[in-house]
């Protein structure tokens, strides 16, 4: 009974996470029904002398020191409930279960309430950074009981990614706060991925950049203000040779993007909260459009599209850098706006500055910008939107002209850039003191007597239109 940490689910993420725990001098015990996975972990972790594993749940639970700290890295959904049920007979009051998967936040709330009745502390902890992150240091987003968190804090702080001496993990709030933050992280991830892919499309269709040139461009950007994990791996992707044939792998990959649902959930819940996140919405829609490959092929033959207009290579590369920087800011702004509202609605009491901080390393959306974002929320913890932060005004202002020009170029050249244009139009609308929605109010009142308010006097009005 002397293992510090238990882990259920020894797939790639689970195995890597447990080895990370052991690397940091905690004794960790793994559990999986699949004996091959158990053996693989024992073999890999054997010389660390700190890892053991079993297919037997009793052996597993009996090996753990009290209070037991058991992390689940299993697919989101029913399996989480099944694992919880199988563990319950072997647990004692005060034990802790941590769901490290991308569970839907209301499932986490349900499980937390159910387990609380049984005296078990339940955490939803988003883990970002893929397989490599899990092994070398992910960003971890835990939510749950603050006192119980003290038991898992030393382990999480040791295994999490390190950003200049600070661990990329923090107790984010009660109940599903951690899962919710991870969900929005993924929404922002979808947005940033869509934006990077649109810029790639623009550069190859306008000035026919080769994969080598694309590699150089993204690599250079990654050394500047666009420094980020996604730009870094994009540069790497253009270099990858096809292992099954000639040329670069990127040119052989089918242009249909899959999704597991976290981006869609972000958009759906943003709608419920009444917070606009159009960059994330369109990123989800584009994955859906991409899936309609057969229809796209038919439609492509039905319509003419203009030839991309001639443009100077250096000029468009410079504009693209500005547009990507601008739209990354917009993607973060929308996601953080959603988090601020969710914090009120679900009583998470989120600290946006801390969230930006723990995203600075380890996770998929890590970037140089997050340090600035964290500072902006430190300066004003009630900042409604990043676009209102004084430190962000010049960053956005200096890139505006290029974004407008690039979106116009794309439109007249027949190149779809819905992520960029949604980001631009979100900005144009959010920063307009006058929008034409007075007309919508007039229409609503006209056809449905829905009433309207006035600019020049208090009250609610209705007009008998046309009379």
Contact between 363 and ligand 6PG per CB under 6 A: yes
Give, for 140, the enclosing helix (H) or strand (E): strand 139-143
Nearest to 187 by CA among 273, 280, 124, 85: 280
DSSP letters for 342-367: HHHHTT----HHHHHHHTSSSSTT-B
**Which window, 91-99, 260-268, 296-304, 353-361, contacts ligand 6PG (CB under 6 A)?**
260-268
- Contact between 225 and 216 under an 8 Å Cβ cutoff? The reply is no
Residues carrying an active site annotation: 182, 189
Give 67 or 130: the residue with its C-beta nearer to ligand 6PG: 130
**Which window, 122-130, 231-239, 422-430, 435-443, contacts ligand 6PG (CB under 6 A)?**
122-130
CA distance 198 to 207: 14
Give 12 or 88: the residue with its C-beta nearer to ligand 6PG: 12
**Interacting residue with ligand 6PG among 93, 252, 260, 344 (CB under 6 A):** 260
CA distance 313 to 285: 30
**Interacting residue with ligand 6PG among 235, 275, 352, 364 (CB under 6 A):** 364
Give 250 or 257: the residue with its C-beta nearer to ligand 6PG: 257
Q: Which residues contact 399 (CB under 8 A, 6 or more apart)?
A: 322, 323, 325, 326
Is the C-alpha dihedral spanning 34, 40, 42, 44 positive or negative? negative
Beta bridge partners of 210: none
Closest residue to ligand 6PG using C-beta atoms: 128
Give 27 or 185: the residue with its C-beta nearer to ligand 6PG: 185
How many whole angstroms from its chain centre is CA 289? 20
Total residues contacting ligand 6PG (rule CB under 6 A)?
13
For strands 51-54 and 28-31, give the pairing: parallel
Encoded tokens for 116: 């609380």
Contact between 416 and ligand 6PG per CB under 6 A: no
Give 181 or 383: the residue with its C-beta nearer to ligand 6PG: 181
Q: Which residues contact 3 (CB under 8 A, 6 or more apart)?
A: 27, 28, 29, 52, 63, 64, 65
Give the x-and-dash track for 96-115 against ligand 6PG (CB under 6 A).
------x-------------
Contact between 189 and ligand 6PG per CB under 6 A: yes
**Which window, 47-55, 253-261, 302-310, 433-441, contacts ligand 6PG (CB under 6 A)?**
253-261
Contact between 262 and ligand 6PG per CB under 6 A: yes
**Given the rule CB under 6 A, which residues bind ligand 6PG?**
102, 128-130, 186, 189, 258-260, 262-263, 363-364
């Amino acid at each position: 009974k002397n293992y510090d940490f238990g882990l259920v689910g020894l797939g790639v993420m689970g195995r890597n996470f447990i080895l990370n725990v052991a690397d940091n001098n905690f004794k960790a015990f793994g559990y999986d029904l699949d004996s091959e996975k158990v053996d693989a972990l024992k073999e890999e972790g054997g010389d660390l002398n700190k890892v053991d594993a079993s297919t037997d749940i009793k052996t597993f639970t009996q090996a753990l020191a009290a209070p037991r700290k058991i992390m689940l890295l299993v697919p989101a959904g029913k399996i989480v409930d099944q694992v919880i049920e199988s563990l319950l007979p072997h647990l004692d009051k005060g034990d802790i279960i941590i769901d490290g998967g991308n569970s839907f936040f209301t499932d986490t709330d349900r499980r937390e309430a159910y387990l609380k009745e049984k005296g078990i502390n339940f955490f939803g902890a988003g883990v970002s950074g893929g397989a490599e992150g899990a092994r070398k240091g992910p960003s971890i987003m835990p939510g749950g009981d603050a006192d119980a968190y003290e038991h898992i804090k030393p382990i999480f702080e040791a295994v999490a990614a390190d950003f200049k001496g600070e661990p990329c993990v923090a107790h984010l709030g009660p109940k599903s706060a951690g899962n919710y933050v991870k969900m929005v992280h993924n929404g922002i991830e979808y947005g940033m991925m869509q934006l990077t892919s649109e810029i790639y499309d623009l550069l190859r269709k306008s000035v026919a950049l080769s994969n080598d040139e694309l590699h150089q461009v993204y690599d250079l950007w990654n050394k500047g203000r666009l420094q980020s994990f996604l730009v870094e791996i994009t540069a790497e992707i253009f270099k990858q040779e096809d292992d099954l044939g000639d040329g670069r792998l990127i040119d052989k990959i089918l242009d249909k993007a899959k999704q597991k649902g976290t981006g869609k959930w972000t958009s759906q819940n943003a709608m419920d909260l009444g917070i606009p996140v159009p960059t994330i919405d369109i990123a989800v829609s584009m994955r859906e459009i991409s899936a309609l490959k057969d229809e796209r092929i038919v439609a492509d033959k039905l319509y003419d599209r203009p030839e991309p207009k001639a443009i100077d290579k250096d000029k468009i590369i410079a504009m693209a850098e500005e547009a990507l920087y601008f739209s990354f800011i917009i993607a973060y702004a929308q996601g953080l706006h959603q988090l601020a509202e969710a914090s009120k609605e679900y009583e998470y009491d989120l600290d946006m500055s801390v969230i930006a901080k723990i995203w600075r390393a380890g996770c998929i959306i890590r970037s140089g910008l997050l340090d600035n974002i964290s500072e902006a929320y430190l300066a004003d913890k009630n900042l409604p939107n990043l676009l209102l932060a004084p430190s962000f005004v010049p960053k956005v202002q200096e890139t505006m002209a290029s974004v407008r020009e690039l979106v116009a170029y794309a439109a007249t050249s027949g190149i779809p850039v819905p992520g960029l244009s949604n980001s631009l139009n979100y900005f144009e609308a959010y920063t307009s003191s006058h929008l034409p929605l007075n007309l919508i109010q007039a229409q609503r009142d006209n056809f449905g007597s829905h009433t309207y308010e006035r600019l020049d006097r208090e009250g609610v009005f209705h007009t008998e239109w046309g009379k």
